[in-house]
Structure 1
Amino acid sequence: MLRVLPRVCTRIPRRPSPLQYSRRPFHSSSSSRRSYHPGYFRFLDDIPEDTVFWSIIGLNGAVFAMAWWAKKKLEVERNPALYRWFQKNFTSSWNNISAGRIWTPVTSAFAHADFSHILFNGFTFYFMAPLTLSILGSRQFLFLYLGGICSIHLSGGASAALGSVAYTNIWRGRDVPSVGASGAIYSVLSFLAFQAPRMTLLLYGIIPVPIYLAVGGLFSYDLYRTVQDNGGKTNTSAHVGGALAGAAYFFLRRFRMF
């Protein structure tokens, strides 16, 4: 997994350690982080950054608990009602989208397949999201992370899910339901790699690696597995889509297209 070293690119404001977030809230920086079109969802910038951070973690935990409960009811009580409802509303697939459940590309980003899945995604989010929040502010971070809130801001989790659905259906000819925050987290990692390429990460908490090298390596590996169709149970196409969305988001901001 990836962890930020204390010393990062000097252009990025120093933030408190993630271990201090429960005691020290985020503070909004100058208005320079605001969107170039301030009329869009301006109220989101009034949400404290620590509220956004912990709310996303809490939502992931709540949805995971609901999925666990649905599986237990299916296994123990032989009652599939809750499990079927969860599959319809918290998994991303062409079947769900074509049935009119257009919210599933977003809601699926809060669902996870098992404990190791949510643990790895949660670990990465815990250490990478605070810095991105400090750069973007609440509103633009939510646009980046979730995507699909507004058509011109399609990025992050939603675009990764939609890209994965399109890829598996059009190129692979199958409809495989997908869950997980990996696409959204990859968009955050990709954005940071462009925003602060000299920032150093600790790979698996041990090996120091420049973020551009780490993210570039992950992207290349997932792209190879996607093309070769050997991702196994991992939805590598969502990883690729998330990384591309994060890069696109960086350049859209760089050229002041929003």
Structure 2
Amino acid sequence: MASIPLLLSKRPPIGHRQCAIRFFDLSVSSLSAKASLNFRPAQALHKLALDSTGNVILPKSLRGVLQFVRTRALNATHRDGLRFNRGSSSGWGRPPPRRDWLDSLDSNVIFYGIIAINVGVYLVWQSAISSYRVMGDPTLLMFLRNNFLVDIRNISAGRIWTLLTACFSHKDTSHALFNGLTFYFMAPAVMRLLGNKRFLMLYFLGGISSSLASVAWNTFVRHEPVSSHGASGAIMATIALYACAFPNNTFLIFFVIPCPAWVFLPGILIYDGWRSISDKRTTTDSAGHVGGLLTGVGYYVWRFALRR
């Protein structure tokens, strides 16, 4: 077999010293029987020569031994965790951390999964209302009332899960359509920014915080046992983080009026805060909106602003 020299550096890069050892002989002849039998370390050390830059020029037999140690002997261990890693701050390489299984999923699975759950719960609500009106059977309606609405009565009865299940609940068509369109346009950019796992954390934190704000406000301030759907709070948390991350982007209020994100976010906070205090006849849970918006802002500050 012919020798195949591997050129390490034809021309020294600017700012680097020229390497004295330019070739490694990859052929079997470099480790021939004659070379291995006649090789004596003590004699080889006396034969070492220096080039003009002071670098050691190794004999061919010693270069072959070094090549063997660098490749075959090191690779034979298969212990990557103990190998020297020049890019590591500790000096010893470690296996890369495993990627979370949620983040390894296609983001469309999470995106359309949330939409599908919301649509499914909405259709069950419509079926329950129709069943009650046509046949007078309130069974399904009461089941949804006890498990997909958040209020002090459900919390007092121990149905804590309504803080979470309400995040997927819509009963009115206009409510479902508005939240669905908002989620459709806002969520993809936020998912790309956060990843699947952190986006789900934002969605659930926004919904649960909205539910808690609604229960606390209606119980201790308004003193009314108002029931609420918590999906708007999760959507508001998504809107708030989007506005914080992309403040110069334009929102279309009611899909018509253009407004920059940095103006829209404080504006809607003030508007919902004022409505929660002044308007007691509204069917919109403005206190829940405020809870979701503040959660989105807080999540952005925690994940990005404080870590810069």
Using the TM superposition, name which of 115-124 and 97-106 deviates more: 97-106
3-state SS of the aligned residue for 2:150? Answer: coil
Which structure carries more relative contact order (alpha carbon 8 Å, separation 6+)?
1
Deviation for aligned residue 1:42: 3.5
Give the AA of the match of 1:192. Answer: Y
- 1:178 and 2:217 aligned: no
C-alpha contact (below 8 Å) 2:186/2:238 kept by paired residues: yes
Q: 1:42 to 1:166 in 2, by over 3 A?
A: farther
Alignment partner of 1:57 out of 105, 115, 128: 115
- 1:207 and 2:257 aligned: yes
- In the TM superposition, what whole-angstrom CA distance separates every residue of 1:45-95 from its partner, at most 9, and x where no partner exists? 223211111011111110000011111111111111111111000001111
3-state SS of the aligned residue for 1:202? Answer: strand
Deviation for aligned residue 1:202: 2.6
What TM-score, normalized by structure 2, do the two folds share?
A: 0.65
RMSD: 1.9
C-alpha contact (below 8 Å) 2:126/2:171 kept by paired residues: no
Q: Which has the larger radius of gyration?
A: 2
3-state SS of the aligned residue for 2:211? Answer: helix
User: 1:193 corresponds to which residue?
Assistant: 243
Give the AA of the match of 1:112. Answer: H
Alignment partner of 1:244 out of 277, 284, 294: 294
Deviation for aligned residue 1:130: 0.6
Using the TM superposition, name which of 194-203 and 64-73 deviates more: 194-203
Q: 1:113 to 1:185 in 2, by over 3 A?
A: same
Distance in 1 (alpha carbons) for counterparts of 2:253 and 2:278: 25
Distance in 2 (alpha carbons) for counterparts of 1:81 and 1:230: 30
Give the AA of the match of 2:299. Answer: Y
User: 1:108 corresponds to which residue?
Assistant: 166
Deviation for aligned residue 1:159: 0.7
C-alpha contact (below 8 Å) 1:132/1:141 kept by paired residues: yes
User: 2:177 corresponds to which residue?
Assistant: 119
User: 2:134 corresponds to which residue?
Assistant: 76
User: 1:168 corresponds to which residue?
Assistant: 218
Distance in 2 (alpha carbons) for counterparts of 1:43 and 1:231: 46
Unaligned runs of 5+ in 2: 1-96
Distance in 2 (alpha carbons) for counterparts of 1:53 and 1:239: 21
Distance in 2 (alpha carbons) for counterparts of 1:136 and 1:246: 12
Matches within 5 A, 1:77-92: 77-92=135-150
Using the TM superposition, name which of 220-229 and 123-132 deviates more: 220-229
User: 2:125 corresponds to which residue?
Assistant: 67
- 1:96 and 2:154 aligned: yes
Using the TM superposition, name which of 221-230 and 160-169 deviates more: 221-230
Distance in 1 (alpha carbons) for counterparts of 2:245 and 2:217: 28
Give the AA of the match of 2:166. Answer: S
Distance in 1 (alpha carbons) for counterparts of 2:101 and 2:209: 23
Paired-residue identity, %: 40
Deviation for aligned residue 1:205: 3.1
What TM-score, normalized by structure 1, do the two folds share?
A: 0.77
3-state SS of the aligned residue for 1:209? Answer: strand
Deviation for aligned residue 1:180: 4.3
3-state SS of the aligned residue for 1:197? Answer: coil
C-alpha contact (below 8 Å) 1:193/1:212 kept by paired residues: yes
- In the TM superposition, what whole-angstrom CA distance separates every residue of 1:180-209 from its partner, at most 9, and x where no partner exists? 421111111111121121112233333321
Using the TM superposition, name which of 159-168 and 222-231 deviates more: 222-231
Distance in 2 (alpha carbons) for counterparts of 1:178 and 1:198: 33
Deviation for aligned residue 1:44: 2.3
- 1:235 and 2:285 aligned: yes
Aligned positions, number: 211
Distance in 2 (alpha carbons) for counterparts of 1:59 and 1:107: 10
Distance in 2 (alpha carbons) for counterparts of 1:200 and 1:228: 29
C-alpha contact (below 8 Å) 1:145/1:185 kept by paired residues: yes
Alignment partner of 1:141 out of 188, 199, 207: 199
Distance in 1 (alpha carbons) for counterparts of 2:281 and 2:262: 23
3-state SS of the aligned residue for 1:187? Answer: helix
